[in-house]
Amino acid sequence: MSADNDQQAREQLIDLAAQFYDQFELGEIPHMSVPTRTKNNIEYDEDKDVWVYGDRESTRSANSVRGARKLLKAVYTIEFLADQLEEDRSSTLRELYYLSESWDNEEAQFSDQDESNGLIEDLEIVSGVTREDFHMRPEESGATLMGPLHLREQTRRGEREIHCQKDVGEGGYQIPNNPDTIDFLDCDADFILAVETGGMRDRLVENGFDDEYNALLVHLKGQPARATRRITKRLHDELDLPVTVFTDGDPWSYRIYGSVAYGSIKSAHLSEYLATPEAQFIGIQPADIVEYDLPTDPLSDSDINALESELEDPRFQTDYWEEQIELQLDLGKKSEQQALASHGLDFVTETYLPERLTEMGVF
Amino acid sequence: MTSFQSTLGDEPGIAEELAESQQSISIAEFFEKNKHMLGFDSGARGLVTAVKEAVDNALDAAEEAGILPDIYVEIQEAGDYYRLIVEDNGPGLTKDSLPKVFGKLLYGSRFHAREQSRGQQGIGISAAVLYSQLTSGKPAKITSRTQGSSEAQYFELIVDTDANEPEISVEETTTWDRPHGTRIELEMEANMRARGQLHDYIKHTAVVNPHARLELREPQEHFKFERATDQLPEETEEIRPHPHGVELGTVMKMLAATDSQTVSGFVQEEFTRVGKKTADSIIDAFRDRHYGREMRWRPPTAHDDVDLAAAVEDATANKGPEATTAFADAIADAVADEDRIAHHELLEAVESAAEAVEAEHGTTFGDTVRENAVEAVWLALIDAAGADDDVVGEDGDSRLVADLYDLADDATSTRKDDETIHAFADRLAGKFEDLEDDRHRLTRATLREFVDRAADLTEEYDEVSFGETARENVVEAVWDVMATVPDEPPLVRELNGDRDATSDLVDAMRATDIMAPPTRCLSPISEDLITAGLEKEFDADFYASATRDAGVSGGDPFIVEAGIAYGGELPAEGTAEVMRFANRVPLVYQRGACATTDVVKTIGWRNYGLNQPGGSGLPNGPVVIMIHVASTNVPFTSESKDAIANVPEIEDEIELAIREAARELKSYLNKRRSMQKRRKKQNVLGKILPEMATKVAEVTGREEPDIDDAIARIMNNVLVERQTKANGDGQAISVVVENNSSTNESLEITDIVSAEPTNLSDSATVVEMDGEWFVKWEPEVGSDDEATLEYEVPDDATFDLDVKGVESEKLTVKQ
């Protein structure tokens, strides 16, 4: 959050505009190339152990009316971001979308928020600057954290030292939008347990799981925000904590694990910065459905499609996942985390998690 | 009638009495009562028809004399009546022929001619005279001056309907200011309710007769249609009838009249497109019909146990053993060489064998010996030699059965079992054996009877079906192997009066493939003149035309032409206007009954980029579709000649002609659409890119960039740019053409310079005019390529670039 950093980000953006300028001057058609953001264009980076974009590029070119509009919007957005950095302000993605309504040029206004979100992603990739460094926030802030961790956060109102068990309420510590403003002071946790649903997180807190097992509970809140993934990555890298992920037993939840461990398709350019390839999947595994005789729901058509598309997703092409996904397709069933309650409210903390974590070698 | 019958005895005079009241009716009287058949069914229509007949006549007359037509039509109100005046600059009519042309129905020069002309029957103008005298009681007033004569003839006449002859009331000489021509004045009961049709008729006439000048003056309006060309339509030539288009009666008349002796000479002399080869084909076809063909049987094979040589030797007596053997062997070998052999072919083989052996052995083989040999071999071939069970095939059948079995088996479907085919072949062979003429000569009709009979018996006794297709196939197969006989066809005088033989000849002519009739008897308008005519009368954006090659229908050649005009000032609302023409005459009435309209409606106009509600019917939009059918005999649905009949050959050609023109329309519309799209894109980008450039300049804090080159690239445009460089006292100029499009472009560039240019590139030329220098340069620039024009001028020169050859939407000029 240094002024230097801001200045650098701003220069990168202006360089991008200068690139368009030079293209005009050379009589070239203004254009901008970005990697294609589809699952067909992500590949495994062996050095960094994460999934990154491949060589396929999409070109946004002023050759067509659509392309020209896109570039015009890009230039307007660049101006806005540069101004924002200069004034040390920040805004949310949604604010950017509404803000475009105030631009003098109707052609430059966004027609929906997907368009403005996509454009910000384009600019991140092309300029090599992250959204956070543009001072762009998502609407919902990061999720929460609970466990034996003592940290210091730089806030706009000064530094705060917080213990994530003792200084917080039942809700836990709120992960800030840019977790790089945090310094870790002291940590007694043995591992990180990232939990998909709020209900399960509350169950673990109520049962005192964090206390009993020295676990750092990270609430993913569905698809984890970048801040959540970033802090997980930092906790793993800097404090050497093993990361485990506990979700529902359905294809959508496997993707949540995937984005923690391997990075998401839309932010593959940031995988190195967000993904924790060492993260392990606890469950619910399709195998658990059989082993623990869990109550189930049948797979819907879209579940089956999602599973089949995961079989083709390069991120899931491991023996473990192929076996689990094929087993689930055979079973034709899925289970939620809460289904464990069919064996009693303490079953998850007293039986399931200890058994799975031992199996996985976490303790 | 029974009542008459019963009283016949009492009143013997009844038949005579009835006969008294029966009399012949003159054609004039007939049409007097049936005016509608000629298009005079109402006052409104009568006037249009009268104008039409008079103008058609006038155009024909002028064109025939090689004069560019100049026609004046005037309609005046005359008390309760209307007065119609039509003047032309034709060659005029002689004193003798004039009254008949106007005062006698069915008098004309064209009815018998196979040549394209507007009028055909010689009814039209005299019918107008008749109509005028019937409704107003006044005679027609006709003035005519022939070329070179100092005075004009003036007649007043009516049609004597009883006699169908002109009745002249006034005949005098007069003066007339036209050097030659004809003027007719008719008074008739009429009204102007059909003004629309009248105007259409005149306007449409002007479209298809771009060489004619027309003027129409009616009580309320006055139109003039000037010439678009000085080129007269090509003169047409009369042609002889085409063999495919004549009827039996006509041929009988022609046979009686011809000077030719032989049929071959007759068909070559009297018909078009018949030469020696075609005549031979016709005669062969005639022989097949008149004499029939002879069946050709397979010669015996080795295992057939038929010894032809032995048969010949048996039949030949007293010729010495060596010569006899040679004769017999020669015949047997000749027969064995053939796949199949007919009686007359055998005859020839025996003749040549006899002559060969005569030459070698010096023995004479007389007619009797030859006949005996032929008979012996033929009977052996058709298994009729000696006692019935002497010579039979392996399975006890005659050779004919085996032969016919193979033919029938090949010709019928595989589903029929062998038994059936065999039974059928056996019966068919029986029919051949029963033939009185043991040469096995029969016509196709007789063959068909045989097959039918054999098939019927087979159906009856073997309880299987032997259908129409199977029978026809068998007839076809057998007829195919049969041979045309060499008999001489009868001479013309023998044919003359022989109805049946003549009928065979007509059939033969129809069955022979003959080249389509020549088209010099037709005078199509031509594609260029159709376009010129449309351009003259319709202010449109686009014109297309198509002239098809000639086709034939019923022996009459015909040509179909089509034209399309689109856009411009044509009304965008409502359906397309369809203009119909036959032999350059506009068809005004009965649009719905016309083959042309039917065809236009069946075409899927959406494929050609026009709006067509429901996908059929007339298209909507600013379109004029014109169709011209030229023929020596246009098939009309009625005598009033308002609609072309639905003749398939003509309809097909109409469709092809329209589609040909419509394809051009389609590519025009596509191009226009893509230009529109390009314009739209250019408009949007023309707004966005400068804004983007401004923003980029703002963000980067630089001057606004120059974006013309980028825009030219984006639009795939052709960019013409002048670059100026100081060069000593003067400046060096280069004009650069950059082609960003995907096609080659040919440009015509003119740079108008105020001072004399020097060191000009080789490819350019310069012309001085009034102190300005026109630098002309016509480069061809390939896709993604560049070309440069260079020259030098003094410092103070000014320039003006003018670029042609590229659509303005695709062009960016910077100077």
pLDDT digits (tens, 9 = 90+) for B581-626: 998 888 888 888 899 999 999 999 999 989 998 888 999 999 999 9
Query: CB distance from B707 to chain A under 8 Å?
Result: yes
Positive or negative, the Cα torsion across B593, B596, B599, B605?
A: negative
Give the C-alpha separation, B701 to B695, whole Å. 9
Nearest to B705 among A21, A72, A75 (CB): A21
Closest residue of B to A104, CA-based?
B691
Q: What are phi and psi of B323, to 5 degrees?
A: -60, -40
Determine whether the interchain pair B707/A79 forms a contact, defined as Cβ–Cβ distance below 8 Å: no
Which positions of A make up the binding site for Mg(2+)?
196, 248
Query: CB distance from B676 to chain A under 8 Å?
Result: no
pLDDT digits (tens, 9 = 90+) for A48-83: 777 788 888 888 888 888 888 889 999 999 999 999
Closest residue of A to B716, CA-based?
A63
Average pLDDT score over residue span B659-678? 89
Q: Is B289 annotated as a binding residue?
A: no
Determine whether the interchain pair A24/B685 forms a contact, defined as Cβ–Cβ distance below 8 Å: no
B564 residue type, one letter: I
> Mean pLDDT of all residues in chain B?
85
pLDDT digits (tens, 9 = 90+) for A78-132: 999 999 988 888 888 888 889 888 888 888 888 888 888 888 888 888 888 888 8
Flag whether pLDDT at B389 surpasses 70.
no
Tell me which chain A residues have a C-beta less than 8 angstroms from the C-beta of B695.
Answer: 17, 72, 75-76, 79
Residue B760: HSE in the Cβ half-sphere, 13 Å Cα cutoff: 17
Q: Which of B810, B490, B491 is nearest to B679 (CA)?
A: B810
pLDDT digits (tens, 9 = 90+) for A295-331: 999 999 999 999 998 888 888 888 999 999 999 999 9
Measure A182 CA to nearest chain B CA, in Å: 33
Size of interface A-B (CB pairs under 8 A): 76
Is the backbone peptide bond immediately before A284 cis, with ω within 30 degrees of 0? Answer: yes
Tell me which chain B residues have a C-beta less than 8 angstroms from the C-beta of A29.
Answer: 710, 713-714
Average pLDDT score over residue span B720-724? 84
Determine whether the interchain pair B710/A24 forms a contact, defined as Cβ–Cβ distance below 8 Å: yes
pLDDT digits (tens, 9 = 90+) for A250-298: 999 999 998 898 888 888 888 888 899 899 999 899 999 999 999 999 9
B196 residue type, one letter: G
Closest residue of B to A81, CA-based?
B699
Q: Is B124 annotated as a binding residue?
A: yes
Flag whether pLDDT at B563 surpasses 90.
yes
Average pLDDT score over residue span A333-344? 91
Flag whether pLDDT at B105 surpasses 80.
no
Taking residue B289's Cβ as centre, other Cβ atoms within 10 Å add up to: 21
Nearest to B681 among A14, A20, A65 (CB): A65
Mutate to test the interface with A, among B676, B695, B740 (most CBs of A within 10 A): B695
Q: Is B88 annotated as a binding residue?
A: yes
Determine whether the interchain pair A14/B695 forms a contact, defined as Cβ–Cβ distance below 8 Å: no
pLDDT digits (tens, 9 = 90+) for A209-252: 988 999 999 998 888 888 899 999 999 999 999 999 999 999 99
Give the C-alpha separation, B221 to B234, whole Å. 33
Flag whether pLDDT at B185 surpasses 50.
yes
Taking residue A75's Cβ as centre, other Cβ atoms within 10 Å add up to: 26
Tell me which chain A residues have a C-beta less than 8 angstroms from the C-beta of B683.
Answer: none
Determine whether the interchain pair B689/A68 forms a contact, defined as Cβ–Cβ distance below 8 Å: yes
Give the C-alpha separation, B376 to B365, whole Å. 15
Q: Which of A114, A168, A120, A122 is nearest to A144 (CA)?
A: A168
User: What pLDDT is stored for residue B392 in this prediction?
Assistant: 44
> Mean pLDDT of all residues in chain A?
88
Find the angle CA(B54)-CA(B194)-CA(B44) to the nearest 5 degrees. 70
Measure B811 CA to nearest chain A CA, in Å: 16
Measure B759 CA to nearest chain A CA, in Å: 29
| Cα dihedral B113/B118/B122/B128 (nearest 10) | 180
In the sheet that holds A215-219, the strands lie side by side as A173-174, A144-146, A215-219, A191-195, A243-246, A280-283
User: What pLDDT is stored for residue B12 in this prediction?
Assistant: 60
Tell me which chain B residues have a C-beta less than 8 angstroms from the C-beta of A108.
Answer: 691
pLDDT digits (tens, 9 = 90+) for B508-560: 998 888 887 787 788 888 898 899 889 988 999 999 999 998 887 777 889 99
Buried b (16+ CB within 10 A) or exposed e, A349-358: beebbbebbe
Measure A286 CA to nearest chain B CA, in Å: 54
Tell me which chain B residues have a C-beta less than 8 angstroms from the C-beta of A62.
Answer: 685, 688-689, 692, 710, 714
User: What pLDDT is stored for residue B385 in this prediction?
Assistant: 60
Determine whether the interchain pair A17/B713 forms a contact, defined as Cβ–Cβ distance below 8 Å: no
pLDDT digits (tens, 9 = 90+) for B111-151: 666 667 776 555 678 888 888 988 888 999 999 998 888 88
Closest residue of A to B689, CA-based?
A68
DSSP B105: T
Which residues are within 8 A (CB) of B272 and not within 5 positions of it... i.e. 6 or more apart?
A: B239, B240, B241, B242, B517, B518
Instruction: State which H helix or E strand residue B124 sits in.
Output: helix B124-136
Give the C-alpha separation, A279 to A218, whole Å. 13
Determine whether the interchain pair B688/A68 forms a contact, defined as Cβ–Cβ distance below 8 Å: yes
Nearest to A75 among B696, B706, B707 (CB): B696
Measure B720 CA to nearest chain A CA, in Å: 14
Mutate to test the interface with A, among B696, B702, B706 (most CBs of A within 10 A): B696
User: What pLDDT is stored for residue B4 in this prediction?
Assistant: 47
Give the C-alpha separation, B201 to B581, whole Å. 10
Q: Is B137 annotated as a binding residue?
A: no
Tell me which chain A residues have a C-beta less than 8 angstroms from the C-beta of B706.
Answer: 24-25
User: What pLDDT is stored for residue B10 in this prediction?
Assistant: 56
Q: What are phi and psi of B30, to 5 degrees?
A: -60, -45
Catalytic residues of A, by residue number, are 98
Determine whether the interchain pair B697/A21 forms a contact, defined as Cβ–Cβ distance below 8 Å: yes
Q: Which of B601, B605, B592, B603 is nearest to B644 (CA)?
A: B592
Query: CB distance from B696 to chain A under 8 Å?
Result: yes
Name A173's bridge partners: A145
Flag whether pLDDT at B390 surpasses 70.
no
Query: CB distance from B736 to chain A under 8 Å?
Result: no
Closest residue of B to A23, CA-based?
B710
pTM here is 0.59
Flag whether pLDDT at A4 surpasses 80.
no
User: What pLDDT is stored for residue B207 in this prediction?
Assistant: 86
Q: What are phi and psi of B22, to 5 degrees?
A: -90, 130
Flag whether pLDDT at B387 surpasses 60.
no
Closest residue of A to B719, CA-based?
A27
User: What pLDDT is stored for residue B394 in this prediction?
Assistant: 45
Determine whether the interchain pair A24/B714 forms a contact, defined as Cβ–Cβ distance below 8 Å: no
Sorting pLDDT into bands at 50, 70 and 90, what band is B183? very high
pLDDT digits (tens, 9 = 90+) for B315-334: 888 888 888 888 888 888 88
Determine whether the interchain pair A17/B696 forms a contact, defined as Cβ–Cβ distance below 8 Å: yes
Q: What are phi and psi of B639, to 5 degrees?
A: -65, -25
Measure B698 CA to nearest chain A CA, in Å: 9
Q: Is B109 annotated as a binding residue?
A: yes
Tell me which chain B residues have a C-beta less than 8 angstroms from the C-beta of A78.
Answer: 699
Give the C-alpha separation, B176 to B381, whole Å. 88
Measure A17 CA to nearest chain B CA, in Å: 6
Q: Are B557 and B635 in contact (CB under 8 A)?
A: no
Q: Which of B50, B133, B209 is nearest to B530 (CA)?
A: B209
Nearest to A75 among B685, B692, B705 (CB): B692
**What are the structure tokens assigned to A171, written together?**
């809700």
pLDDT digits (tens, 9 = 90+) for B278-306: 999 999 999 999 999 999 998 887 777 77
In this structure, which CATH number among 3.40.50.1100, 3.40.1360.10, 3.30.43.10, 3.40.920.10 belongs to the domain A144-359? Answer: 3.40.1360.10
User: What pLDDT is stored for residue B197 in this prediction?
Assistant: 87
Give me the residue spans of the domains in chain A.
3-137, 144-359
Closest residue of B to A63, CA-based?
B714
| Fold annotation for A3-137 | Arc Repressor Mutant, subunit A (1.10.10)
Q: Classify B488 as helix, strand or coil.
A: coil
User: What pLDDT is stored for residue A361 in this prediction?
Assistant: 86
Q: Are A16 and A9 in contact (CB under 8 A)?
A: no
